[in-house]
Structures are given as structure tokens and as C-alpha cells.
């Protein structure tokens, strides 16, 4: 922490690691890049369960200038809070998947109590002039609970995932309570303007809010600032990863295996929001409609398992393995396997090497807050032979990366023809598109994301205008 700077206290469900260990999740990656530079306290869940749960003793690990303090959950909390409300109700709903969302009173109750207990455990660790930054859909109520505990300093909230339109969000029985709880923050941040507008529309239509300016909204006696802060990566650091010896080994290995074949990659947690089934079908359509690719391309999908205790994720894995088997069965030859899925984790350096070996990266989520993989792929490319990014129009990253080939991930034909265009793109066009994307990735790093959020939080004005009716 630099002299005169206020301490940053970040709160998120997942905490750390700060090193280059494999970790799948944009929040952990973006936040650890930002915290490593600024220092501060990172508070959240230990990732373990114990009988005492949120009453367990806090554990603190200090790395560089970051203290990571965590507490456990018990089995009931893990089930109701994490698997239940966060990932069976909020995650699908906020990703526009009302068809997959499940609502039950018990998990809502546990979610609220876990928010309350995390706030109660954090409050005694805070100083008045700390800046508290709460992250993601696990902790919508944490700010209002901290206020209940008497904390009067600045509290900001950033949503890493999409905020769906009010027509969908109102299906959640506690939707009004959640948005009212968001008003306890001084600043709420979103990945894209679409998310921010959906939030404001909810405040206006459902809670009778009034816009005070483009960024400020009043609901009753609360005034909150809602702004867009697209998360980024440590672009210079990632470029260095991509030329590290470990990256080089992975790049070489993949190039050796591919030989003359062009490599297509996808890197995503195995999650239904990532559009993997649709992507596999798009690849199959490529082989059907453009037969010159048979034997001449190979597709590696890295898909670490995520939330595998939940039925929707078990079903997704089954479906993907079946589809990959079907495609391989249909097209493979003795010396060629068209598609390969790997569920293991990689270090960040190793992943950078995999990206660098690829001619095409497929990032085709059905809905995604930002998608850091898209930015990592760009930063990892060899300037003398850059690859092509095929990017979903429904990824937050689309706003910053118009030089990617933008596709509708629901359209099998669209994915197949974009793939064909990427595989046959002349060098000059590849290079021009990549240069545009590289500029964008460097213009919006994790450092800029963190600094602009904190500056906006320090300056957020929560006062009612003087002429406001009471």
C-alpha cells in the first residue's frame, strides 16, 4: 500500500491464490492481479467445511502485502448458500436461464444468514477509513449487513456476472430485497452498460426509483451511483507469461502433436453458460460443410470441472462427452482425432502456451459477464503469427473487442462459418484484427479496473439533492 493510500478490503466468496497456481474463475484471477499490486485485506470463504462453519476461527495467510483472511462454512451453509441460492437460483437467473433456476425458502434463508455472519466476522477487522469492496452475487446483502454492524466507511459492490433484465429478475421471490440491499452500497459496478441499464430499469420500474443523472439513482432516501467497470487482465504480465519457458514447453508440445494441422482451442469452466454444447455442434457443422478441414484441424477444449455436485453440471458433462464421442466416432481416422476435452487445471503460464499454439480460440458463451479467456488469448499471441478470436455477441468482452469475429453462439451455421473464416484468414487481416484487440486489452487492464473503481468509490456522492422531495 502506497503512503497516504487507504487500505483496500476486498470481500469475495473465493479468496486467492496470488501465485501462478491453476485456478479457474475470472474473479479470482482479476482480483488477485489487482490486489497483488495495491496490497490490503482479502476476506472470504476458506474453501473448507467444518462443524463450526461461519463461527470457525478465522485463518490468515500473508503473501506479499496482501492478508488473506478466511472462515469456513458448515455443510448446511455450503449446501444452502453456495450450491443452493448462489448457484441454483442466482447464477442461472442472472445468466438469463429462468428455465434452470430453482427457488426455495430454505436456501434463501441460509444465503441471508451467511451474508450476515460474514459481515459480523469482518466488521471488527475494519478501520473507519478502510475502503471495502464487495464482489459478486454471493454477497448482495453483505453491505447492508455491514451497515447494521455500524460500519460507516465507503462500501462498493462489483457484479462479475451479468445482471438480467427486470422481466427475468422479478421471477426471484427476493428480487426486491436484493436490489434494495444493493442500494446500501455507495457505488455499484457492472461489467457492461447492458447490465447497468438492467439494474437501473429494475430500480425505476419495480422500486419507483428516479434517475438523478446518467449514473445516479434515487430510491426513497437512498442515492446510489451505478457505473460500468469492465474487468481486465494484467496484460503486460500475461505477455511475459506467454514467452516463459513453461509456456514455451506447452506451446511446442501442442505444435508437435498438431504437426501441419491448425489448432482450435476453447478454455472454459464446464458451465452451461459457456455455450459448449452449441460450440461442439458448430465444430461438427464445420466438418460437415467444409470437408477440406477433415484431417487438417484439431479442436482442444480445456474445461475444468466446476460445481460438479449440481445436477445441471452433471448433465452438461454427460452431454459434452457424448457429443465429443459422437463427433470423433463420425469423423476420426486412424491418425486423426478431431476433438479432445480435458478437465484438468493448468498453471497460468501453461495456459498461455496453449493459447499461443492455437490458430483460433473459440469463446462462445450464451451469456457471460466479461470473459477473461478472450483477453488472455489476445495477450498470449505471437506478434509474428497471431491467432484469430471467435467471440460470442453475448460475452461482456464483445464491447471492447469488436475486432474479433463476432458470432451468435446459438447459430450452428454462424459458428461454423466464422470458424471457416478464421481458419482461412489471410495473415494481414489476422495481424490487423489482433493489433486492434491487443490495444483494447492493454487499454483496460486489471490495474485500470481496480484504480478506476476505487477512485469512483471514493468520489461517489450518496447525498440527496437539496431540492429533492422528502
CA–CA gap between residue 360 and residue 140 (Å, rounded): 37
Residue 27 or 226: the one with the smaller Cβ distance to ligand ADP is 27
Question: Which of the stretches 26-34, 50-58, 166-174, 413-421 binds ligand F6P when contact is defined by CB under 6 A?
Answer: 26-34
Select the residue interacting with ligand ADP from 371, 381, 417, 446 (CB under 6 A): 371
CA–CA gap between residue 168 and residue 91 (Å, rounded): 12
Query: Strand 59-63 relative to strand 66-73: parallel, antiparallel, unpaired?
Result: antiparallel
Counting contacts by CB under 6 A, is residue 22 touching ligand ADP?
yes
CB 290 within 8 A of CB 416: yes
CA–CA gap between residue 129 and residue 309 (Å, rounded): 41
Sequence-ordered alpha helix ranges (H) in 39-97: 75-77, 91-94
Residue 15 or 357: the one with the smaller Cβ distance to ligand F6P is 15
Counting contacts by CB under 6 A, is residue 351 touching ligand ADP?
yes
**Sequence-distant (≥ 6) Cβ neighbours of residue 175 within 8 angstroms:** 169, 202, 206
**Alpha-carbon Rg of the chain, whole angstroms?**
23
Residue 151 or 272: the one with the smaller Cβ distance to ligand ADP is 272
Counting contacts by CB under 6 A, is residue 375 touching ligand F6P?
no
Which residue of the set 135, 138, 160, 250 is catalytic? 160
Q: What, of ligand ADP, ligand F6P, none, does residue 376 touch, CB below 5 to 8 Å by kind?
A: ligand ADP
Cell 484504480 sits at which residue?
Answer: 451
326 classed as catalytic: no
CB 360 within 8 A of CB 246: no
Select the residue interacting with ligand ADP from 94, 264, 297, 370 (CB under 6 A): 370
Counting contacts by CB under 6 A, is residue 136 touching ligand F6P?
yes
CB 226 within 8 A of CB 188: yes
Beta bridge partners of 262: 297
Residue 36 or 285: the one with the smaller Cβ distance to ligand ADP is 36
3-state SS assignment for residue 158: strand
368 classed as catalytic: yes
Select the residue interacting with ligand F6P from 17, 25, 39, 345 (CB under 6 A): 25
Counting contacts by CB under 6 A, is residue 345 touching ligand F6P?
no
Counting contacts by CB under 6 A, is residue 165 touching ligand F6P?
no
Counting contacts by CB under 6 A, is residue 24 touching ligand ADP?
yes
Residue 138 or 279: the one with the smaller Cβ distance to ligand F6P is 138
Active site residues: 160, 368
Amino acid at each position: 500500500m502506497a503512503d497516504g493510500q487507504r487500505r483496500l478490503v476486498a470481500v469475495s466468496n473465493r479468496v486467492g491464490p496470488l501465485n501462478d497456481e491453476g485456478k479457474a474463475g475470472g474473479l479470482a484471477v482479476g482480483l488477485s492481479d489487482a490486489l497483488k499490486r495495491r496490497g490490503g485485506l482479502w476476506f472470504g470463504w476458506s474453501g473448507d467445511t467444518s462443524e463450526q462453519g461461519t463461527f470457525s476461527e478465522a485463518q490468515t495467510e500473508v503473501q506479499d502485502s496482501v492478508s488473506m483472511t478466511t472462515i469456513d462454512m458448515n455443510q448446511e451453509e455450503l449446501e444452502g448458500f453456495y450450491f443452493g441460492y448462489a448457484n441454483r437460483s442466482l447464477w442461472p437467473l442472472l445468466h438469463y436461464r429462468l428455465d434452470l433456476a430453482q427457488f426455495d425458502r430454505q436456501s434463501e434463508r441460509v444465503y441471508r444468514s451467511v451474508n450476515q455472519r460474514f459481515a459480523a466476522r469482518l466488521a471488527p477487522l475494519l478501520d473507519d477509513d478502510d475502503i471495502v469492496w464487495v464482489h459478486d452475487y454471493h454477497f448482495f446483502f453483505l453491505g447492508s449487513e455491514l451497515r447494521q454492524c455500524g460500519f460507516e466507511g465507503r462500501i462498493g459492490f462489483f457484479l462479475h456476472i451479468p445482471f438480467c433484465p427486470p422481466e427475468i429478475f422479478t421471477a426471484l421471490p427476493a428480487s426486491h430485497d436484493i436490489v434494495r440491499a444493493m442500494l446500501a452500497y455507495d457505488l455499484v459496478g457492472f461489467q457492461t452498460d447492458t447490465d447497468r441499464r438492467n439494474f437501473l430499469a429494475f430500480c425505476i420500474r419495480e422500486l419507483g426509483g428516479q434517475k438523478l443523472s446518467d449514473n445516479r439513482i434515487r430510491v426513497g432516501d437512498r442515492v446510489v451511483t451505478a457505473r460500468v467497470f469492465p474487468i481486465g487482465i494484467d496484460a503486460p504480465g500475461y505477455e511475459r507469461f506467454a514467452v516463459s519457458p513453461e509456456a514455451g514447453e506447452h506451446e511446442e508440445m501442442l505444435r508437435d502433436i498438431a504437426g501441419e494441422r491448425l489448432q482450435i482451442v476453447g478454455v472454459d469452466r464446464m458451465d452451461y453458460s459457456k455455450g459448449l454444447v452449441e460450440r461442439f455442434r458448430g465444430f461438427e457443422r464445420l466438418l460437415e460443410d467444409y470437408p477440406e478441414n477433415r484431417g487438417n484441424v484439431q479442436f482442444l477444449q480445456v474445461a475444468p470441472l466446476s460445481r460438479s455436485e449440481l445436477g445441471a453440471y452433471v448433465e452438461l458433462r454427460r452431454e459434452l462427452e457424448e457429443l465429443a464421442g459422437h463427433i470423433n466416432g463420425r469423423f476420426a481416422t486412424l491418425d486423426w482425432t478431431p476433438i479432445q476435452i480435458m478437465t484438468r487445471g493448468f498453471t497460468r503460464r501453461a495456459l498461455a502456451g496453449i493459447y499461443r499454439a492455437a490458430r483460433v480460440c473459440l469463446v462462445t458463451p450464451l451469456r457471460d459477464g466479461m470473459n477473461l479467456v478472450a483477453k488472455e488469448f489476445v495477450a498470449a499471441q505471437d506478434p509474428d503469427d497471431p491467432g484469430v478470436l471467435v467471440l460470442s455477441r453475448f460475452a461482456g468482452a464483445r464491447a471492447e473487442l469488436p475486432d474479433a469475429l463476432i458470432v451468435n453462439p446459438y447459430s450452428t451455421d454462424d459458428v461454423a462459418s466464422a470458424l471457416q473464416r478464421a481458419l482461412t484468414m489471410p495473415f494481414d487481416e489476422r495481424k490487423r484484427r489482433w493489433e486492434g484487440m491487443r490495444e483494447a486489452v492493454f487499454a483496460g487492464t486489471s490495474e485500470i479496473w481496480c484504480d478506476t473503481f476505487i477512485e469512483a468509490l471514493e468520489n461517489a456522492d450518496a447525498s440527496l439533492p437539496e431540492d429533492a422531495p422528502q
